[in-house]
Structure 1
Amino acid sequence: MENLTTKSKVTHYILIIVGTFLMAASINLVYEPLEMVTGGITGLAIVIKKVSSMWIEDGIPIWLSNILLNVPLFIAAILVRGKTFLKNTFFATISLSVALYLIPTVDIVYQDYLLASVFGGVIGGAGIGMVFIVHASTGGTDLLAMLIHKYKPYYTVPQILTVVDGVIVLAGVISFGLTKALYAIIAVYIAAKISDSIMEGLKFAKMAYIISDNYNEIAQHIMAELDRGVTGVSATGMYSNQDKKMLFCVVSKKEIVELTEIVAKVDPKAFIIVSDAREVMGEGFREYRQ
């Protein structure tokens, strides 16, 4: 058990490091060279670097602004989310700052703003999603989004982040013009979709409702071959007015094909309804933790 816990912690830190380096890559290789403010503390840092370059050569580095601007949000995190959450967030914030320091600022899209908004949104969103998976944050507006999510759980963190970053993108219009801001909005939207997909993709499962006269045989095959539980639900066919037994089963996305094959083999005339389950907790799936 101790080895599993240690392995889990190592995996969490690896995800945070990889995720923050992807985020830093999108900033230093795409957004900053094209002056695209995509929101967040790093977006504000791009503006600060531009403005401060009037008095300081090359302006205040983004990595330094990222650390300094996160101080008040860290204080809020201690009060609202506790020290455990802060530990992961502190590590992620430092990791992002280190990545911003190490990765050089180079224009890899050669002033192609459409390519920048798509490519930057994809790699940046992937990085955000990897960090959020382990319930961490890189500070800044994503930390603010996670704090808001605690009180508004019916909105996903990426959805909240989209709204907050959208406001900052509008502020970027003043500094860099409307055209760049419009492309930045595309990048923010793509990043939110990618991060949302990464977070929810790990939780998705499939629900199957099976109506067949051979329900007992089908249930036995599912339990034996897929090692999944099956629930029998009493139902009545309104057309025939006959009592029937409907089977209810939850499986992973990979197992749904095998499940339908099992049903078709036992009863080719069986009626099957398959739908998505956004999150499943319990035996055989993700454990519930208070």
Structure 2
Amino acid sequence: MRVFRPYKDYFFELAFKIPWIFIGAMMAAVSLEVILIPHGLIDGGITGVSMMLSNIGGYPLSTLLFILNIPFLILGLKFLGKRFAFSATFGIVALTISTELLERKTPFLVGNTILILIIGGILLGMGIGIVIRNGGVLDGTDVLALLISSKTRLSVGEAIFVINIFIFLFALLLFGWKGALISIITYFIAVTVVDMVRS
């Protein structure tokens, strides 16, 4: 019976963590679909790439989120283990479903750029932080950030920001300097909140 005890403990732990992962995913989806996207702002990571591809090609964001994150889930499985891969998959699926449910919802905070920047960044950071704190991720680049953080002095939030520099440079070409700059500031707020929530 002792052989099964670790699995029993693991499933008990999952029963506690999964609701929090879903809550974090929903918070991030609200930030994306209701605040950031309607105002021409983007997230970082695979989510940001998905948002840009959705903007260019008109593809559903939820579909792109799922497909583009698959290679990173495989990476997580290889280097971070089966338990992490399961939680990561649940987090990304939860974000996919949440964005699908919230697509085409009426935006709010229209015209108040500073309020959009602050609330969007805080909500996104809280969502990501809650998910990471409970063993999951919402984006494939979070997997890379966790690996980088484990090998360097960078925090997870700092690693996420470094990875996303190139994505925001592309956003500069797509959305212009104003949209890209606001997106960078919003994301800087988000990654700061990520480190606060997960610590």
Verify same fold: TM over 0.5.
Answer: yes
**Does residue 146 of structure 1 match 2:177?**
no
- Aligned partners of 1:118 and 1:190 also within 8 Å: yes
Report what 1:133 is aligned to: 133
1:163 aligns with 2:162: yes
8 A contact 1:43–1:168 mirrored in 2:
yes
Match in the other structure for 2:93: 94
Unaligned 5+ residue runs, structure 1? 53-58, 201-290
How far the C-alpha of 1:40 sits from its partner, in A, is 1.6
**Does residue 35 of the first structure (1) align with residue 51 of the second (2)?**
no
Greater CA drift, 105-114 or 119-128? 105-114
The Cα offsets for residues 88-112 of structure 1, whole Å up to 9 and x where unpaired, read as: 0011110010000011333212133
Deviations 1:249-278 (A, max 9, x none): xxxxxxxxxxxxxxxxxxxxxxxxxxxxxx
Alpha-carbon deviation of 1:77? 1.4
Listed as ranges, the gaps of 5+ residues in structure 2 are none
- Higher relative contact order structure (alpha carbons within 8 Å, sequence separation ≥ 6): 2
Equivalent positions of 1:135-214 (< 5 A) are 135-152=135-152, 154-200=153-199
Residue identity opposite 2:54 in structure 1? K
Q: Look up the SS of the partner of 2:39 in the other structure.
A: coil
Which structure has greater helix proportion? 2
TM-score of the two chains, using structure 2 as the length reference: 0.90
1:196 and 1:120 map into 2 onto residues whose CA distance is: 16
Higher Cα Rg, which structure? 1
Cα distance between partner residues in 1 of 2:10 and 2:147 = 26
Report the 3-state secondary structure (helix = DSSP H, G, I; strand = E; otherwise coil) of the residue aligned with 2:147.
Answer: helix
Offset at 1:158?
1.1
Deviation at 1:183, TM superposition (A): 0.8
How far the C-alpha of 1:41 sits from its partner, in A, is 1.4
Seq. identity, %: 26
What letter is aligned with 2:187? V
Please say if residues 32 and 43 of structure 2, whose CA atoms lie closer than 8 Å, have aligned partners that are also in contact: no
Q: Count matched residues.
A: 193
The structure with the largest strand share of the pair is 1
Structure 1 runs (4+) deviating above 4 angstroms are: 1-7
Q: For residues 116 and 42 of structure 1, do their structure 2 counterparts lie closer, same or farther at Cα, with a shift above 3 Å needed?
A: same
Please report how far the alpha carbon of residue 155 of structure 1 lies from its aligned counterpart in structure 2 after TM superposition.
Answer: 1.6
User: Which amino acid is the alignment partner of residue 8 of structure 1?
Assistant: E
